[in-house]
A = this chain, B = another copy of it.
């Protein structure tokens, strides 16, 4: 089994220590390996709200939180009623309302636990089974993703595409393919420079950082063989929603005939098309600073649309937990 980089090891995303739950702080990585220490469920929810972790992080925090609550209940530090567990799960869901994977997983866990004789005793088994479920999917998607990578390839990405992307490259490397990645820094949070590039380097894959305006440049000059990103959401018509900056690269990839694949564990059957997507705007102040320092005058404001909506005509295929599909096949498989 391929080893995950520091950032994606479950214990570095969230872990229990004594009566605390620790969350790895992705806002300061790789400059600091800092953990946010939470002493109750409110502190955990607040850490999620403050973006201490992102991407697949909140799901891992939610699973570890279930373990944490079970332990606190066993020790008598928390009311051991099932309603308390439901309340805690709802607090986490509300902290990150757009993270539907975390929400669906927590709700499925609660359903299983509610039906059990002793839910507190069952929690570790249920959490472990979900952990195994996701680990299996990540590796299956990674193996599938690796088959899309040519023998010798420079791969463009955007933001921090986590397990499925990193494992795709790792499996390709394991198969002896000669690969390297071009990583746009992904302003304003610099997930590309701070998370993706160091994780690739740790996995022995050469990663070179470029600015967010350079993807089209390298695509136009024939430097890139493949464009791979995560997807925050895939609609039933094959529309892909991902971090702002993805669209510019997808348009250029199409123009210069470079395939673009997105990873999505499960396309969302409640989103039929672009019309169902809510355009999320984040704090514009992020755009007029970099790592906490202002990049312009305080009188000037920014705009921060969080996501791009990528038309299915720009997408070569979608790697899902069930297999690889063309955008037009998504409806038939997932609706």
Interface residues of A (CB under 8 A from B): 30-31, 158, 182, 184-188, 190, 193-194, 197-198, 201, 207-218, 220-221, 244-249, 251-252, 255, 279, 287-288, 290-291, 293-297, 299-305, 308-309
**Contact between B187 and A213, CB atoms less than 8 A apart:** yes
User: How many angstroms between the C-alpha atoms of A187 and B186 in the bound complex?
Assistant: 11
Question: Contact partner of A300 among B31, B201, B245, B247, CB < 8 A?
Answer: B201
Q: Copy number in this complex? A: 2
Contacts of A182 in B (CB 8 A): 303
- Among the listed B158, B209, B246, which residue makes an inter-chain contact with A287, where contact means beta carbons less than 8 Å apart? B209
User: A303 contacts which of B214, B244, B296 (Cβ < 8 Å)?
Assistant: B214
The 7 closest A-B pairs by CB, nearest first: A213-B245, A212-B213, A216-B248, A193-B296, A187-B211, A212-B212, A193-B295
- Among B31, B218, B245, B249, which residue has its beta carbon within 8 angstroms of that of A211? B245
Q: How far is the CA of A287 from the CA of B247 in the complex (A)?
A: 21
Residues of B within 8 A of A186 (CB): 213
A291 to chain B: closest residue by CB: B293
Cα distance A188–B212 in the bound complex, in angstroms: 10
Given contact pairs A187-B213, A247-B252, a sample of 16 additional A-B residue pairs in the complex whose CB atoms are under 8 Å apart:
A185-B287, A194-B295, A197-B300, A201-B297, A201-B300, A209-B287, A209-B302, A211-B244, A211-B245, A211-B304, A212-B212, A217-B245, A217-B308, A220-B309, A221-B305, A293-B293
Are the C-beta atoms of B247 and A210 separated by less than 8 Å?
no
Cα separation A257 to B287 with both chains bound (whole Å): 27
